[in-house]
């Protein structure tokens, strides 16, 4: 991590600017293990415009180069004038691609907001509680009665490949994995076949969450 944006993130997490990246990522992962990201479960952002006050993940080197080329084109066209032109000319002149990462980390991608792109506030609050004040069920264990209700709801059909399954072929999948903060609730569970459940691993089905 580098740059003013990362200093802000480190400060929000309670670290000093000189704290190594590996220390930051290890502690951040520990904090968000049981995090409840509301938009995953209620399917809308309760923070609204407040999320725009948080920083965004770093832009990649490729994105930075494209933006710098765009600024050059705009300057050549004379789009910017006065102090604004001086500001962008300085930015183009001092642009250094090596200051930007080749790719964003997996952690940055997972902690960012799907609609807005900013880091989600919940990853800084990181409390595994709900509005009812009751702890969320974060264990991978699915009670038998809950599993039966999920299977009946899904009609013995794999919710990934659509295959009709025998009872012995059914596995229960966490749509948002427990390792990513998902809870063991009926709304976050679905019936799948063994093959689909294994191939999904601990990935998040963002397409399903956004519907």
User: What three-state secondary structure class fits 189?
Assistant: strand
The pLDDT value given to residue 209: 45
**Burial 57-79, CB ≥16 within 10 A → b, else e:** bbbeeeebeeebeebeeeeeeee
DSSP string, 57-84: PPPPHHHHHHHHHHHHHHHHTT---HHH
- Per the CB < 8 A criterion, the answer to whether 119 and 1 are in contact is no
135 φ, ψ (degrees, to nearest 5)? -60, 145
125 pLDDT exceeds 70?
no
Q: Given this model, what pLDDT does residue 177 score?
A: 82
pLDDT above 90 for 202: no
**Domain range annotation of the chain:** 4-58+104-125, 61-98, 144-210
Residues 6 or more apart from 58 whose CB is under 8 A from it? Answer: 1, 3, 5, 6, 100, 101, 104, 108
CA dihedral 98, 99, 103, 107 (to 10 degrees): 150
Among residues 68, 103, 108, which one has the least CA distance to residue 88? 68
Residue 4's pLDDT is 58
Mean pLDDT lowest for which of 15-24, 143-152, 179-188?
Answer: 179-188
The pLDDT value given to residue 210: 42
The pLDDT > 70 percentage for the chain reads 78
Asked whether the beta carbons of 25 and 107 are under 8 A apart, the reply is yes
Q: Is the pLDDT of residue 87 over 70?
A: yes
pLDDT averaged over every residue in the chain:
80
CATH architecture for residues 144-210? Orthogonal Bundle (1.10)
pLDDT in tens, 26-83: 888 887 777 666 676 666 677 766 777 788 888 899 999 999 999 999 999 999 888 8
Average pLDDT over residues 184-208: 80
Q: Give the residue, 157 or 139, on which the prediction is more confident.
A: 157
Asked whether the predicted pLDDT for residue 105 surpasses 70, the reply is: yes
Least confident of 10-24, 83-97, 119-133: 119-133
∠ CA 134-117-13, nearest 5°, is 55
Identify the helix (H) or strand (E) that includes residue 49.
none
Average pLDDT over residues 84-88: 91
Mean local confidence (pLDDT), 87-100 = 92
Q: pLDDT at position 187, please?
A: 85
């Amino acid at each position: 991590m580098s740059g003013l944006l990362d200093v802000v993130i480190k400060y929000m997490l309670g670290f000093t600017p000189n704290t190594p990246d590996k220390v930051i990522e290890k502690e951040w992962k520990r904090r968000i293990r049981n995090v409840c990201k509301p938009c995953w479960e209620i399917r809308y952002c309760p923070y609204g415009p407040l999320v725009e006050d948080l920083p965004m993940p770093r832009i990649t080197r490729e994105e930075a180069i494209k933006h710098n080329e765009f600024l050059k084109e705009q300057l050549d066209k004379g789009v910017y004038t006065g102090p604004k032109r001086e500001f962008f000319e300085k930015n183009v002149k001092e642009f250094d691609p090596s200051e930007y990462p080749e790719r964003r980390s997996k952690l940055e991608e997972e902690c960012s907001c799907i609609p807005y792109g900013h880091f989600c506030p919940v990853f800084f609050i990181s409390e595994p509680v709900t509005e009812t004040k009751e702890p969320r069920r974060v264990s991978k264990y699915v009670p038998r009665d809950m599993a039966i209700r999920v299977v009946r709801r899904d009609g013995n059909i794999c919710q990934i490949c659509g295959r009709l399954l025998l009872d012995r072929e059914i596995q229960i999948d966490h749509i948002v994995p427990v390792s990513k903060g998902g809870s063991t609730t009926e709304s976050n569970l679905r019936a799948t076949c063994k093959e689909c459940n294994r191939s999904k691993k601990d990935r998040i089905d963002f397409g399903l969450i956004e519907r």
